[in-house]
Structure formats: structure tokens, C-alpha cells
Amino acid sequence: MESWANLDFHLDLSGPGGLRHRLTASLREAVRSARLPPGTRLPASRSLALDLGIARNTVAEAYAELVAEGWLTARQGSGTVVAQRVEPPPPVTRRAVDAEVRFDLRVSTPDVTEFPRAEWIRSTRRALTAAPSEAFGPGDPQGRIELRTALAEYLARARGVRADPERIVVCSGFGGAVQMFDRLLTPPVVVEEYGLGFHRSMWTSTVPLAVDDHGANTEQLPDNLRACVLTPAHQFPLGGPLHPRRRASAVEWARRVDGLVLEDDYDGEFRYDRQPVGAVQGLDPEHVVYLGTSSKALSPALRIAWMVLPDRFVDPVLALKTAREQHISMLDQLTLADFLESGAYDSHVRRMRSKYQRRRDRLVEAVSPYASVSGIAAGMHAVLDTPHEAEIVRTARERGIELSPLSWFRHELSDDDRTGIVVSFGAPAFARALPLFTEVLAACH
């Protein structure tokens, strides 16, 4: 039997009725909801009365009433125990629609089954051993200096970012950064006509910018607006890199209007056919905010992202962050810093780049009889150009595969009408789902 004598347990004695009635109701609900499971030994009436600051007779009468109702049992010398016949409520089951999904190939997360657990544990141990005592205090809203220093070195080396630790602010994901800049910038903000609706919804208002095979058409950026969001390394979801001429045009526009380019570098490390394209931020650190995240290279569960800011934005961002966003886990920050400095991050990215490239090649080979594929020079997804968008999505869902139609990512004000399917080859289920997905394409072709 489990004893309650040494456990803390909350009993809500508020509400209508007398004290004995409220205590009886609270105990009855605790048993009914299985917060007090069958076999639990309750404290003696004297002890519970002392804990609750009420009369012993009140507790004894509540126990007696629940014994009479069958919720509790009481025997001389054995105390008061929750009755075995009381059954807990049935477990909550997932919705039927979720249970029918066998394979999720929507664009979302990397293959989290490949998370480098052993290396991460080693980094955690080293980070904890080396951490100064003050690291376990309230924390710096800008982020741990160890992580900001490691990021500055890595981003300069791998992404061509011009930064020092004092310009880097660590935050809880891309969404946290966007919410701060929505307060700092005058709406509307220019966004690419294809992108995540979730990201667009974080801004007060947005206007679309046309996208083609050369990326966003930055030569069309309007001079009456002051901010734009771009995915230059790998346009999401269409996949092309921003043409060098358009990269220069974006920076020229920002200088001309004294505006700001927000560069979302969500998966720039995963490029397959040549070296990764460097960050636009390197062209003008005073007019470009570089936004990066650990969610694609490692795991979205870490909830760690970073901003490399123009000098004039550091203090305003920190003022908003202190008031509106909780600090990121100190342990995760220190561990990621060690993970970067030890070279484990680079090793993991190289390993996953090779895996994703092999998956990409398998996808292209399998679907080539039915659809052309684009956007595959980088990243973890591909776009299948097909006029049968709705039919493929519907048929795939009937067979347990979730897909993303290209139209989902189109800005509501865009007049573009292209159709297609966005398929994640980074998804853990990709290898098992590919044969069935190919059958779906054949059926809809």
C-alpha cells in the first residue's frame, strides 16, 4: 500500500457549503480523478486536521461519509485506504483522424530520430563541469556569452555572417524574433508571396513580393515601405537561392529607404550541389537582421534561435525581450555552445547533409515518371510541379499519407496560380512512405 503520510497533496476547500461538506467533496473528487489511486493510505484524521488547520472531528466525519459511500475503506489497525473497486477515468485517446495518418511528409521538422544523443550528452557534461556558478542564476536576456561567442565564430566561418557576440541575441525560435520586430517596425512588412502562413500571421500586416526561379524579385521592393522578410539561401518553399543581382538589390533598397531586411536562414547549411550560399547579412550588417535557428539542424525541441542585429537595434530588442520573452534554458545554451566549439555541430550537419542528399536522389528517381521536381539544391523538401495538386493530396490522405499542397503556402493577396506538392524527404517516415507515395502519383497521373 502507498502511504500518503509523507506526501504533499492539494485539497481545495473553497466553494459553497460547510467545511465538512467541502472537505468531503474535495476528497471524493481526488479519488474519482485518480489523484488518490486505489490502495493509497490516507493520513490519520489527527494528522490531516493538523495539516489543514481544521478540527479533527471534521476530518473524521468526512472519512466516515466516504467510507459509507464506498470511496474509502477503514479497518481497525490498518487506517483509512482508498477502495480498490474505484476505477480511474479511461485514458484520453488521440483523435481518430490522427490515428489514420501513417506517414507525415508535410514540411515541418528534420529527422528527429537522428538527433546526436551521445554527442549532446558529452557536451552537456563538459558544459556543466565548466559552467561558472553565476550561470545558474537568473540569466542574461541577451543569452549566455559562451553561446553568443560560439555562434559568432561559427556563423562567420560557415555562413559568412559579420558579427560579434554583442550583436547576437538568443531567443526562443523564429516566432519570438518576429513578435519583437513586429513591435519595432512600421507595418506593413513585405514578405515573399510563398512562405509559411504561420510566419505571416505573426505580423500586424503584410504585402506579398513576387517569387520566381531566381528567388524573390527584390527589384520590386516599394520605396514607401521599410521592412522585408527574405529566405535568400533557399526560398521557402519553392527552393531557389536569391540571385546575386537581387541580393544586391535588396541591400540597396534597405539603404535607400533606411529600411531593414530580415534574413531567415532556416536551412542554409543543407546544400548539396555546391557550397552553401553565404548570408546576405555579410553585405551590410547595419541594414540586415540575420535570423538562425537550431530547429532544422538539430531539433525544434531545443527552442533556441538567434538574431544578429544592426547595432542600433540591440538595445530596443533587448528591452522588448526582457519584458515579453522568457529566458532560454541556461543548460541548453551552454550545451549548444560546447556542441559548436567541439566540432560536433559541424560533424552532425555533414552527416545529415549526406543522408538528406541520398533521400533527395531517391525521391527524384521515384517520381520522375509522374512529375518534375524543383527546389532540390538545398534543404529537406522538394516541390513536385503538377496540375493534380488537390487530387494527389486527397488520394494520399485516403492511404494514410499527409502532404502539403503548394497552395497552402501562397500569400492570400498573391495572384500567382501555380500548383504542386511540397514533400519532405527529411521526415523520419520518408523511406517507408516513398513506395506508397509513388503509387499515389501513378494513380493520379
CATH superfamily ID and name for 99-112+347-444: Aspartate Aminotransferase, domain 1 (3.90.1150.10)
What pLDDT is recorded for position 53?
86
Binning pLDDT at 50, 70 and 90, where does residue 168 land? very high
Pick the CATH number of 2-82 from 1.10.287.130, 1.10.10.10, 2.60.40.10, 1.10.580.10: 1.10.10.10
The confidence band for 36, taking pLDDT boundaries of 50, 70 and 90, is: confident
pLDDT of residue 74: 85
pLDDT of residue 96: 46
pLDDT on residue 143: 93
pLDDT at residue 207, as a whole number: 97
* Average pLDDT over all residues of the chain: 89
Q: Establish whether domains 2-82 and 99-112+347-444 are of one fold.
A: no
pLDDT for 92 equals 52
* Res 131 pLDDT > 60: yes
Per-domain residue ranges of the chain: 2-82, 99-112+347-444, 123-345
pLDDT at 97: 45
pLDDT, one tens digit per residue, over 399-426 is 999 999 999 999 999 999 999 999 999 9
> Residue 259 — pLDDT band, cuts 50, 70, 90?
very high
pLDDT, one tens digit per residue, over 349-358 is 999 999 999 9
pLDDT, position 438:
95
The whole-number pLDDT of residue 175 equals 83
- Supply the pLDDT for residue 18: 85
3-state SS of the chain is CEECCCCCCCCCCCCCCCHHHHHHHHHHHHHHCCCCCCCEECCCHHHHHHHHCCCHHHHHHHHHHHHHHCCEEEECCCEEEECCCCCCCCCCCCCHHHHCCCEECCCCCCCHHHCCHHHHHHHHHHHHHHCCHHHHCCCCCCCCHHHHHHHHHHHHHHHCCCCCHHHEEEECHHHHHHHHHHHHCCCCEEEECECCHHHHCCCCCEEEECEECCEECHHHCCCCCCEEEECCCCCCCCCCCCCHHHHHHHHHHHHHHCCEEEEECCCCCCECCCCCCCCHHHHCCCCEEEEEECCCCCCHHHCCEEEECCHHHHHHHHHHHHHHCCCCCHHHHHHHHHHHHCCHHHHHHHHHHHHHHHHHHHHHHHHCCCCEEECCCECCEEEEECCCHHHHHHHHHHCCEECEEHHHHECCCCCCCCCEEEEECCCCCHHHHHHHHHHHHHHHC
Mean pLDDT of 216-244: 95
| pLDDT given for residue 7 in this prediction | 58
The pLDDT tens digits of the residues spanning 112-121 come to 999 999 999 9
pLDDT value at residue 431: 92
- What value does the mean pLDDT take over residues 86-104? 60
Topology annotation, domain 123-345: Aspartate Aminotransferase; domain 2 (3.40.640)
pLDDT 10s digits, 7-23:
566 787 887 788 888 89
Q: Please give the model's pTM, rounded to 2 decimal places.
A: 0.80
The confidence band for 327, taking pLDDT boundaries of 50, 70 and 90, is low
